[in-house]
Structure 1
Amino acid sequence: MASVLLPLPQLSVLFDYRRSRKESSFPRAVNNSNAILSNSTNANHFLRRISNFCETGDLDKSFRVVQEFAGDDESSSDAFPLVREALGLLLQASGKRKDIEMGRKIHQLVSGSTRLRNDDILCTRIITMYAMCGSPDDSRSVFDALRSKNLFQWNAVISSYSRNELYYELLEMFIKMISKTDLLPDNFTFPCVIKACAGISDVGIGLAVHGLVVKTGLMEDLFVGNALVSFYGTHGFVSDALKLFDIMPERNLVSWNSMIRVLSDNGFSEESFLLLGEMMEEGDDGAFMPDVATVVTVLPVCAREREIGVGKGVHGWAVKLSLDNELVVNNALMDMYCKCGCITDAQMIFKLNNNKNVVSWNTMVGGFSAEGDIHGTFDLLRQMLAGSEDVKADEVTILNAVPVCIDESVLPSLKELHCYSLKQEFVYDELANAFISSYAKCGSLSYAQCVFHGIRSKTVNSWNALIGGYAQSSDPRLSLDAYLQMKVSGLLPDLFTVSSLLSACSKLKSLRLGKEVHGFIIRNWLERDLFVYLSVLSFYIHCGELCTVQVLFDAMEDNVLVSWNTVITGYLQNGFPERALGLFRQMVLYGIQPCGISMMTVFGACSLLPSLRLGREAHAYALKHLLEDNAFIACSIIDMYAKNGSISQSSKVFNGLKEKSAASWNAMIMGYGIHGRAKEAIKLFEEMQRTGHNPDDLTFLGVLTACNHSGLIHEGLRYLDQMKSSFGLKPNLKHYACVIDMLGRAGQLYKALKVAAEMSEEPDVGIWNSLLSWCRIHQNLEMGEKVAAKLFVLESERPDSYVLLSNLYAGLGKWDDVRKVRQRMKEMSLRKDAGCSWIELNGKVFSFVACESSPGGFEEIKSLWSILEMKIWKMGYRPDTSLVQHDLSEEEKIVQLRGHSEKLAITYGLIKTSEGTTLRVYKNLRICVDCHNAAKLISKVMEREIVVRDNKRFHHFKNGFCSCGDYW
């Protein structure tokens, strides 16, 4: 053994020494040993060898050598310091490696030596070793066995409790020390005690300890100061923590990291970023550059606030300072990118990381799941479950993956996850609750009930999972039944229970039941909770009770940003974009800074209003406040410009994006689709795939819309098939509605009917209405009557179905049938939606209803229209009286056509604008053939571009042509 530890010149001396101990007890033997140990070069070399063995983990070899010295040289005063130091190294290595068996061997060796067991330093290190190995009881036993105890040993046992988070035992020990000894706590004692006060959340004891710190004169100590900053921050006393931080005479990197964490944990995200910048400025010499702790503190804040710009900056520092080699940093970076919606960046880090652990995999699985990327989630899971990288999926993996299972198409994959969990014997209530919720969302209520009944001890959370799952299922009434069962079981509902019940009432549109739940909330003083308050607002919004919403909103003294956003969105969802914008302006006047959701709502309102000017103002606001880089806001801007007729501006915003998300590609493709620009939409669709983005259901909806409005029948059917066969996506009602509308527009009515019959789910009212509309246009009476019969069964009180049938009869001159349909509508109190058009002029929006006088005076419009009609008559215009669905004379029909709302809006726009100004008109119904023909000729006669958005698509009229190519 000695030949490994000592260089060759010392071997003969060592062997002489050992032989002398065995052969005799001559003084010469001891002298030889002393010669070795008194030689500082030999001693240092010996310790260095012991240290090397400890670092490489070869503790047994190191122990045997030290054991020989300890056994042989107990009487040698020269040997003792060397043995003590070697044992100290071994104890430290045992603690670091949590090798308690080796620690016990060393403890036994020390206990067997009179001189060693009375050594204060070794006893202290033994106490610390047991603490590091997670055995504070052994630490306490060693401590209690000591006859006299110094401050180091008290600190060691206090530190032992601190390491193992036994905070009450720690405080008991501390009180015993200061009350039964003359020892004063030092800068090692206080940080442990202050940490314990934070751990048990006892502010009172913490304040008392702070007073003792002041009394002992340690307020200026760096370590004590750092502990106090963390203590006050843990309890939310941010201003006190900041004061302490500011008066610290000396700060180290731990001080800065502690203060940054205090700010970030208490929601002061922007301030934490500012402090980070201040730290780096103060540390120009490199003393305060970010370390691993800094990076893993700041990145979660970036993730929470979706601050991708700051996050990328932190990533840059990590690379520059070579911190990106640390696994914990890589995991934090992936988490930040995932939560900021940059899943591609997270994926790149994941692929480049050769040292992945289960947290790395779980982060990526959770990232794909949060994005709703079913394929990405399960592809990664399959790699993980295959064990390709020796990482085994745990409860968190499954818990992260389950939320992506939200519809029937993913039910088999959800069952796979469930089977794996059962096989691995994951007994975890939160996981069971997640399965209950997902099974219910996937429509498998029987499986949800099975998992629920399998939970032995059902908690409120278990009931909440079942009630919440039922609330989001196809039969939300079950959630009310489950709630009654929960009450019978003796458990009381909590905030999540009542919120789920309100969600169920929203889906049921049951104002009565929802009001009962609201009453329960008021009686139990729950309405002050923000989560419940927002649920109540959302319930009334879904029921269209906007007056009640406004009353509740006004009654709340301190409405936060999320409540403003909820009400603004509520107005938008209920078709009141003007009120939504008005409330947004009010919010800004109150000094509340809009967030991404606020701006998305504003752009949504601008999309519904006939006002490109308002949209441009909102875009300017987003640019001013650096919000355009947000992927979701960028999509909203693209969508807003597209829906306001400015597809070129949409394209400009899209092309200017630094990073294009799948949502931005979808928004641009859909923009081209509603403008009928199929060539551009298909080109973008192909480019999207080349950049590595997989198309989803929204992508295909945009492509199908483009094919529909451009008459690309073959291509549209091919993309529908490709969606299923190549990408494994299940077409929904919107996709089928688009294809059926496309076939109907082309006159292929029987093929459209066949597609409807072969759908995997029952066609809705919208699809049948579309088919009836094309039966009217193509005058197919037989099919039209059959489709109308289906419509009246599905929804007998829908006026537009009766209007379409009436128009079908009118087009065929069946006036008796027209009168019968209209009489039936009258008996049912159903009224036809009047044709209405809007135009924005000089910042104001003017509306026009068919055959009614205009805001500017009907005579003025009538006069100009007479002139226009004469001009376009010369160019071939003839009123298409077949469109008038009333039994009138030809002259009366022409008069009716002149009063169409889009004609009134266009004429008024020509009166109120200067030459060359583009007119933008919005209509609530499909533009008729007569108005379409007139608009084309007016654009040529008046040399104007006229943009008309009807309820189907955009029409760009210029130089006598329309962008739709007369195919709409």
Structure 2
Amino acid sequence: MCSHCCTTSSGYLNWLCIDSKTSHYHILLLPECSVKLGLDASSCYTAPNQALFFDTLMESQRFNLINTLQLCIKNKSYFSSKLLHARIFRLLLSSDTFLSNLLIDLYSKCGNITSAYQVFDKMPHKNIFSWNAILSAFCKNTTHHLKDACDLFLRMPERNTVSLNTIIGAMVRAGYERQALDTYEAMMWEGVKPSNITFATVFSACGSLLDAECGRRNHGLVVKLGLDGNIYVVNSLLCAYAKCGLTEDALRVFRDVAEPNEVTFTTMMGGLAQTNQVREALEMFRLMLRKGVHVDSVSLSSVLSVCAKGGSGEREDGVSDQSHGLSTYTQGNDIHALSVKLGFERDLHLSNSLLDMYAKIGNMDSAENIFVNLDKQSVVSWNIMIAGYGNKCNGEKAAEYFWRMQCYGYEPDDVTYINMLAACVKSGDVEMGRQIFDCMPCPSLISWNAILSVYNQKADHKEAVKLFRKMQFQCQHPDRTSLAIILSSSAELVLLEAGKQVHAASLKFGFYDDVYVVSGLINVYSKCGKIELSKHVFNKVTELDVVCWNSMIAGFSINSLDKDAVSFFKQMRQFGFVPSEFSFATIVSSCAKLSSLFQGEQIHAQIIKDGYADDIFVGSSLIEMYCKCGDVGGARCYFNTMPGKNTVTWNEMIHGYAQNGYGDEAVCLYKDMISSGEKPDDITFIAALTACSHSSLVDEGIEIFNSMVQQFRVVPKLDHYTCIIDCLSRAGRFHEVEVILDAMPCKDDPIVWEVVLSSCRVHANLSLAKRAAEELFRLDPQNSASYVLLANMYSSMGRWDDAKVVRALMSDNQIHKEPGYSWGVCKNDMQNHIALMSAINRHRNLYLVTATLPHPGKSETTDVDEGSGASAKEKANIWTPVRNVSSTKEQPNSASELPIGIGGEVLQSIAECVEAESFKEAGDKAAVTAKDLKLGTKVTAKVYQIRAHGLILDLGGGLPGMYRFEENSNRDYKVADEIRVLCSSFNSKGIPALSLVDDE
């Protein structure tokens, strides 16, 4: 038997199978061996040559073993590894370090780590190659042996570059990138010289950790060591920069590459696509073609993913660009043609990339054509088709592919189920989603999260909570996504106990510091009214981010703690957190509820500075804020400058007009909205009908209500019925009101009957008032408004006994009318003040004009509010400078309990001065103020409103003192007419009295 017999597998197997009991001398008697050794067969038996023969034989055996081990390592022959190990043992070669190293490598390649370690452990003489061999064996299976590999690495008597590359490569593959970088830096301090493989691994770790600084630092070291020309290192560096979003750095490195290969171009295309630079990525592919670089299927798959990303029309700035989407669609078709030309049409991976590209750009016809012509589909192919139809909201077609793939013998995986569940969400088919989920033999955590998300997004929060409990019963531990979803459902259902249980689960499973779980906990506690618990959770977080701050600010706003919300917003900025669009939208809403125009304008300035002025949700909040603060002109000015408007924006502006009594403007804006092509929703009609109601635009209100039902097919809800009933009731058209009351499906709501009762009192319709009062006593017996309205109606009609009976009924049921209050600002400090009539006498300087203002066509009444000794006739003689009346409670007038001082201004009041005859702030600001006016001074003023007995003039100063009531002359005035007024005298408080100048 000679050594050349080991060059084939049959040769080494025959050699291995020689009987171990056969004598070495008998083997030498073989003619081939004698010839090989240059001896005559008979001379082998002479004594002097026996030692030489034996040494020569052992060297031949060792040589054969080395060749055979190397061949087995190449072929990963597990069976041969055991035979070779036995042969080495019988030939007494176990102490041979080189053979043992090869044997360790063979066991490692065959996956037999235990046998490899046994060989290593019994080696009498280990060298650096032995240690590296067993370290490599452990590192090949990082799932079970990474800890053993790390322990072995620390025990090594000496370590070199191979040791370093092996251990950090294993750490990166196992996801321990930070530990890999720490090990690398420690070995650098020990003087181990890194190689190109070392830097490639380090750059891979930097990219995974998004550690740009570490990448740049090692980039400099690569240049210093002269490895910047190694294409393997350069490609890894480009990948790291691309993952960190440093495309400019990547491009600088790319330009210095002498001969970029297909991996270089593919990496650059992926990096540019990751930062939404789709055009640049496609230009990189064109450069690749111009340079004549070999295009493989991986390169084509990469550029197809770029086309898929750009097919939605998304630019670098995130703005929709349909021409951009069309461009990438054309490029995708060209690349498809190129792939066919290069002969890759049968490549399954590339075909799946083509499917994905067409599916993501919405061209499902082309995708289906490719799918049908595939020689053999994979599960990935089916998943892409299901996801594509799901994105098109075609759940039925997605389900068809789901069932077909199983009929063809393809087993759905987690991605299949997730795509199918997503399709059910987008198509709104919750039942099919549940059916798909129930088909899963063993739902994974991702699948549980997907079905929880289905119910959460469809607002079926009760079912979401039930599924979460079922998930726990099946011993499926939740992750942060599961907890965040169920916290959202618990918040919507106001389930405090469920929130506490999830809180406990977050502590148990280690998610107590996760920002999304913390945000969900703050939300659920806030919606349950437990703001102190929200604060406790917030204060326990070690690493806060803007999401947690937003949740806390929203929590204060939910609980009407708007001053605390503003204070918390300021703290957030002081701690260096940059507000998001959600932060601004929430805090602007709080300013609106506070009617704090001063703070709202400050935040508006910050919104412009931070670049959120064009955000649609922030813009809607700003419109709401300006309108609630009475600055309708400012709201309309901002509305006109908004680059993009949606239904919410239009609704806010229409509602703002309605709130402030601009019914004509609201109706006009509603018509503009229809003309612009924006489709109104149910909120739009509520705002428009409210405007018609408050401005007595009855015919317009009826027309809008009819168009809602007939033209836009919107089913009327309770709020719509309430608005149209209020509109008709104010006009005294009670016959139509009763027809609607009898026909509407939702009669058992106290708000509708309160509206009816209020109008009946104005128009003295006693029969309908009694019906409304009876319904109110039944539906909401503890509401004081119904008793007060009915009692006042009886009083106005002189039926004192009946009024007394109603008052006694209130007393028997222990019903008390809650005092109203107004928001006021003094020196930019918001305060709320109880509206007490006694304040009139204490703060006369806040009341500018005393005049009798009877409502046209209505007689004076003698209504008496509970707790007040003044009659309605007395109260009607007081005109309060209220900027924005927001309450509809039945209290004709009230005083604002502001401290005496400069800058006092009533912003929101419950006072209604004879059917909301209130002042409104002027849009134009002139330089004239009250202190500038002297006796005989002539100033120009605008007619702001026209009343039955006079004009309200706007001098533009913005202070309450600038609004004056003047006697009407024979001249016919119009709103916005400019006239001259003269300061003729001063009263005791130093406030000028103005009169019209007739010499114009």
**Same structural fold, with TM-score higher than 0.5 when normalized by the shorter chain:** yes
Partners in 1 of 2:500 and 2:793 — Cα distance?
Answer: 44
Look up the SS of the partner of 2:591 in the other structure: helix
**1:884 matched residue in structure 2:** 863
**Structure whose alpha-carbon radius of gyration is higher:** 2
Q: Which of 295, 308, 318 is 1:331 aligned to?
A: 308
Amino acid at match of 2:515: L
Q: Following superposition of structure 1 onto structure 2, how do residues 862-873 of structure 1 map, counting pairs within 5 Å?
A: 862=844, 865=847, 868-869=849-850, 872-873=851-852
User: CA-to-partner distance for each residue in 1:328-368, whole Å, 9 max, x for gaps?
Assistant: 434334568399874x535862587344765456556xxxx
Amino acid at match of 2:817: K
User: CA-to-partner distance for each residue in 1:189-239, whole Å, 9 max, x for gaps?
Assistant: 999997775343255678778999999998585x86455212233146554
1:559 aligns with 2:544: yes
**1:234 matched residue in structure 2:** 208
**2:172 matched residue in structure 1:** 198
- Work out the number of aligned pairs and report it: 745
Greater alpha carbon shift after TM alignment, 926-935 vs 693-702: 926-935
1:712–1:387 CA distance, 2 compared to 1 (3 A) = farther
User: CA-to-partner distance for each residue in 1:165-207, whole Å, 9 max, x for gaps?
Assistant: xx999975999xxx9xxxx9999x9999977753432556787
Q: Following superposition of structure 1 onto structure 2, how do residues 270-669 of structure 1 map, counting pairs within 5 Å?
A: 272=245, 275-277=246-248, 297=271, 300=274, 314=277, 327-333=304-310, 337=314, 342=319, 344-345=320-321, 349-350=325-326, 353-354=329-330, 355=332, 359=356, 363=360, 384=364, 395=383, 421-422=402-403, 427=412, 450-459=435-444, 481-496=466-481, 498-499=483-484, 501-512=486-497, 514-519=499-504, 521-522=506-507, 526-660=511-645, 663-669=648-654
**2:217 matched residue in structure 1:** 243
Greater alpha carbon shift after TM alignment, 542-551 vs 500-509: 500-509
For the Cα contact (< 8 Å) 1:362–1:397, is it kept in 2? yes
Partners in 2 of 1:389 and 1:694 — Cα distance?
Answer: 37
Partners in 2 of 1:490 and 1:696 — Cα distance?
Answer: 45
1:489–1:574 CA distance, 2 compared to 1 (3 A) = same
Amino acid at match of 1:565: N
For the Cα contact (< 8 Å) 2:819–2:834, is it kept in 1? yes
1:722–1:655 CA distance, 2 compared to 1 (3 A) = same
Q: Following superposition of structure 1 onto structure 2, how do residues 729-768 of structure 1 map, counting pairs within 5 Å?
A: 733-749=718-734, 751-752=736-737, 766-768=751-753
For the Cα contact (< 8 Å) 2:595–2:628, is it kept in 1? no
For the Cα contact (< 8 Å) 1:634–1:664, is it kept in 2? yes
1:893 aligns with 2:872: yes
Which runs of no fewer than 5 residues in structure 2 stay unpaired?
1-72, 81-104, 110-134, 147-152, 154-158, 288-299, 334-353, 373-380, 883-892, 921-944, 977-1000
Q: 1:542 offset after TM fit, Å?
A: 0.6
Partners in 1 of 2:488 and 2:956 — Cα distance?
Answer: 47
For the Cα contact (< 8 Å) 2:270–2:306, is it kept in 1? yes
For the Cα contact (< 8 Å) 1:850–1:901, is it kept in 2? no
User: CA-to-partner distance for each residue in 1:615-653, whole Å, 9 max, x for gaps?
Assistant: 111111122222323333233323322332223323333
**2:843 matched residue in structure 1:** 861
1:728–1:883 CA distance, 2 compared to 1 (3 A) = same
1:759–1:359 CA distance, 2 compared to 1 (3 A) = farther
1:784–1:247 CA distance, 2 compared to 1 (3 A) = farther
Look up the SS of the partner of 2:513 in the other structure: coil
The normalised TM-score by structure 1 is 0.60
User: CA-to-partner distance for each residue in 1:789-820, whole Å, 9 max, x for gaps?
Assistant: 55555555555455555555555555555555
1:526–1:728 CA distance, 2 compared to 1 (3 A) = same
Amino acid at match of 1:331: A
Amino acid at match of 2:546: L
For the Cα contact (< 8 Å) 1:443–1:474, is it kept in 2? no
Which runs of no fewer than 5 residues in structure 1 stay unpaired?
1-136, 145-153, 159-166, 264-271, 302-310, 365-379, 406-412, 950-954
Partners in 2 of 1:716 and 1:956 — Cα distance?
Answer: 33
For the Cα contact (< 8 Å) 1:292–1:323, is it kept in 2? no
Look up the SS of the partner of 1:929 in the other structure: coil
1:808–1:662 CA distance, 2 compared to 1 (3 A) = same
Amino acid at match of 2:861: S
Partners in 2 of 1:694 and 1:758 — Cα distance?
Answer: 27
Partners in 2 of 1:794 and 1:445 — Cα distance?
Answer: 36
For the Cα contact (< 8 Å) 2:658–2:691, is it kept in 1? yes
1:700–1:211 CA distance, 2 compared to 1 (3 A) = same
The normalised TM-score by structure 2 is 0.59
For the Cα contact (< 8 Å) 2:946–2:975, is it kept in 1? no
Amino acid at match of 2:844: K
For the Cα contact (< 8 Å) 2:709–2:715, is it kept in 1? yes
User: CA-to-partner distance for each residue in 1:6-30, whole Å, 9 max, x for gaps?
Assistant: xxxxxxxxxxxxxxxxxxxxxxxxx
Amino acid at match of 2:441: R
Partners in 2 of 1:336 and 1:667 — Cα distance?
Answer: 29
Partners in 2 of 1:397 and 1:778 — Cα distance?
Answer: 66
For the Cα contact (< 8 Å) 2:215–2:241, is it kept in 1? no
Partners in 1 of 2:896 and 2:526 — Cα distance?
Answer: 38
Amino acid at match of 1:593: V
For the Cα contact (< 8 Å) 1:534–1:566, is it kept in 2? yes
Q: 1:241 offset after TM fit, Å?
A: 2.8
1:208–1:896 CA distance, 2 compared to 1 (3 A) = closer
Partners in 2 of 1:360 and 1:883 — Cα distance?
Answer: 77
Q: Following superposition of structure 1 onto structure 2, how do residues 701-712 of structure 1 map, counting pairs within 5 Å?
A: 701-712=686-697
Q: 1:603 offset after TM fit, Å?
A: 1.2
Partners in 2 of 1:731 and 1:434 — Cα distance?
Answer: 36
Q: 1:244 offset after TM fit, Å?
A: 1.4
1:962–1:276 CA distance, 2 compared to 1 (3 A) = farther
Q: 1:551 offset after TM fit, Å?
A: 3.0
1:589–1:490 CA distance, 2 compared to 1 (3 A) = closer
Partners in 2 of 1:217 and 1:636 — Cα distance?
Answer: 61
Amino acid at match of 2:517: V
**2:915 matched residue in structure 1:** 929
1:666–1:395 CA distance, 2 compared to 1 (3 A) = farther
Greater alpha carbon shift after TM alignment, 517-526 vs 319-328: 319-328
1:421–1:430 CA distance, 2 compared to 1 (3 A) = same
1:845 aligns with 2:830: yes
Q: 1:612 offset after TM fit, Å?
A: 1.4
Partners in 2 of 1:939 and 1:913 — Cα distance?
Answer: 29
**1:261 matched residue in structure 2:** 242
For the Cα contact (< 8 Å) 1:799–1:830, is it kept in 2? yes
Partners in 2 of 1:288 and 1:811 — Cα distance?
Answer: 97
1:705–1:897 CA distance, 2 compared to 1 (3 A) = closer
1:201–1:506 CA distance, 2 compared to 1 (3 A) = closer
Partners in 2 of 1:192 and 1:389 — Cα distance?
Answer: 46
Look up the SS of the partner of 1:627 in the other structure: coil
For the Cα contact (< 8 Å) 1:673–1:705, is it kept in 2? yes
Q: 1:566 offset after TM fit, Å?
A: 0.6
